[in-house]
Structures are given as C-alpha cells and as structure tokens.
Amino acid sequence: MAGAGGIGDFSARYTFTDPQGMELGAIKRRGWRSIWRARYDIFDGDAVIFTIQEENPWGMN
C-alpha cells in the first residue's frame, strides 16, 4: 500500500498494489467533512465504487 500526504492530511489517497506493483484499487478519507464521522471512498481507478461511513461517531446506539 502506498500513501500520499502526512499527519493532518485528511484527504490522503492510499493505493493498494499486488506484489508485481499492479494497482488493485485505492481508498481515500473524505476531508474535513469526516473529521467527526469517518467516511471513506473506495476507488477503481478514478471512479468511486463504494463508500464506507461510520453510523455513530460516538459509539452509542
């Protein structure tokens, strides 16, 4: 997995590759909007194919 950005970069995109270096996909956290509630976009190339979102950021039901 290769990443971009550093500490405090809330919109860094991380690419997943196989052992030969071929890109399998990527994940990116949605910037400042997701600071209180985690939300991630899963990419196939440049297309978002799936989104993961935390239901309750405080852990209460």
Is 17 within 8 Å of 24 (Cβ atoms)? yes
Dihedral angle computed from the Cα positions of residues 28, 31, 35 and 40, in that order, rounded to the nearest 10 degrees: -20
What is the widest separation between alpha-carbon atoms in the chain?
43
Which residues, other chains included, contact 60 with Cβ-Cβ below 8 Å and sequence gap of 6+?
A: none
- pLDDT tens digits for range 26-51: 988 876 655 567 788 999 988 999 89
Q: What is the pTM of this model?
A: 0.58
- What is the domain range of residue 39? 1-61
pLDDT at residue number 1: 47
CA gap 28, 36 in Å, rounded: 16
